[in-house]
Amino acid sequence: MMQTVYEMTIDMIAKHYGLDHQQMKTIEELSEASAAVARHVTEPCENNLKEMASELADVCILIDQLFVLHPTLKMHFEDAKRFKVTRQIRRMIKDAGWEKDD
């Protein structure tokens, strides 16, 4: 399968900076994203929403780079997402009293 321009760019950036640097950068960007979300929660406005979007985009870009640098990370990530979504749906069903008695 052919890579998109985005995928080729992510691959190039990830390999240029390397695993250690991009993991540290991810920590930094997660912190910035957390602060941006908090600002929007406490003061919802278009400017804070745009800042939050920008910081979350930085996090997503770094996650994509980590998928390149850690070959099995994406598989574990997708497995974890499926597990957590399924678990949350089960909690919601239980909370709503929709579960069947066994």
Predicted TM-score of the model (pTM) = 0.86
Total number of residues shown for the chain: 102
Q: How far apart are CA 61 and CA 30, in angstroms?
A: 11
How many CB atoms within 10 Å of residue 50?
12
Instruction: Output the pLDDT for position 100.
Output: 67
Instruction: Output the pLDDT for position 18.
Output: 98
Instruction: Output the pLDDT for position 2.
Output: 86
Give every CB contact of residue 63 below 8 A, 6+ residues apart in sequence.
26, 77
| Amino acid of residue 8 | M
How many CB atoms within 10 Å of residue 15?
13
Instruction: Output the pLDDT for position 102.
Output: 55
Tell the burial category of 64 from Cβ atoms under 10 Å away from its Cβ (0-12, 13-18, 19+).
middle
Instruction: Output the pLDDT for position 99.
Output: 72
Max CA-CA distance within the chain? 56
Q: What is the mean pLDDT of each run of 10 residues along the chain (102 residues)?
A: 92 98 98 98 98 98 98 97 97 87 57
Instruction: Output the pLDDT for position 94.
Output: 92
